[in-house]
């Protein structure tokens, strides 16, 4: 019996008040070393250095793709639909067929194959863990680039999340061109 080809899908950036949402899709190659699997975890439970080194290894041993939805697109259609759209883009960008997709969370994107939502899947399914790591490292890299362009909001530190300091900087500096207006509170 032939083994099913499993795709893991996850996102990074649902909760920030600045920047895009990024999703990743990952299918491991048949020759992926087992020792890589033992190092995987939810991206939020790994150090930045560990995420970066794992992202390199995951990319070497998988078919992967990322999909983005910008802050302005999030404002236009809302974070829920933007996330599902980014996931669909990630799956298409992967350019590899899968039999089933396991998606972190409660909802699945329409991608043309069976998809199953798994709450806390980024702690349970190795393909979702890998997608979590790719999405997080790709988005964090972009937020560091935005920090260079717009240093007044410390995106390198907060990655766009609504930390106390980030909110203080918004009070001082106003909002950047990359802040989500749909999250703006009076």
How do beta strands 100-104 and 114-118 pair? parallel
Please count the residues of the chain.
Answer: 186
pLDDT reported for residue 71: 97
Spatial separation of the C-alpha atoms in residues 170 and 177, rounded to whole Å: 12
Tokens of 52: 């970066």
Domain range annotation of the chain: 6-148
Average pLDDT of the chain to the nearest whole number: 95
Backbone angles phi, psi at 125, to 5 degrees: -115, 125
> Is pLDDT of 142 > 80?
yes
Contact 100, 6 (CB under 8 A): yes
Over residues 123-136, mean pLDDT: 97
Question: Which are the contacts of 73, defined by CB distance < 8 A and separation ≥ 6?
Answer: 20, 82, 85
Q: Output the pTM of the full model.
A: 0.95
Tokens of 167: 């909110």
What is the per-residue burial (b if ≥16 Cβ within 10 Å, else e) of 25-53?
A: bbbbeeebeeebeeebbbbeebeeeebee
Residues 6-148, CATH architecture: 2-Layer Sandwich (3.30)
> Is pLDDT of 186 > 50?
no
Spatial separation of the C-alpha atoms in residues 174 and 177, rounded to whole Å: 10
Question: Which are the contacts of 151, defined by CB distance < 8 A and separation ≥ 6?
Answer: none
């Amino acid at each position: 019996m032939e083994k099913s080809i499993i795709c893991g899908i996850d996102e990074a950036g649902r909760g920030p008040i600045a920047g895009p949402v990024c999703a990743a899709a990952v299918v491991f190659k048949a020759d992926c070393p087992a020792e890589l699997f033992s190092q995987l975890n939810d991206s939020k439970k790994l150090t930045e250095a560990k995420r970066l080194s794992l992202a390199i290894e995951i990319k070497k041993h998988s078919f992967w793709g990322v999909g983005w939805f910008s802050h302005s697109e999030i404002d236009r259609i809302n974070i829920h639909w933007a996330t599902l759209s980014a996931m669909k883009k990630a799956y298409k960008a992967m350019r590899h067929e899968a039999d089933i997709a396991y998606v972190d969370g409660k909802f699945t994107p329409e991608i043309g194959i069976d998809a199953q939502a798994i709450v806390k899947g980024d702690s349970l399914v190795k393909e979702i863990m890998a997608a979590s790591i790719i999405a997080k490292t790709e988005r964090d890299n972009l937020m560091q680039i935005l920090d260079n362009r717009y240093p007044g909001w410390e995106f390198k530190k907060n990655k766009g999340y609504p930390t106390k300091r980030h909110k203080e900087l918004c009070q001082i500096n106003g909002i950047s061109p990359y802040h989500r207006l749909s999250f703006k509170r009076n």
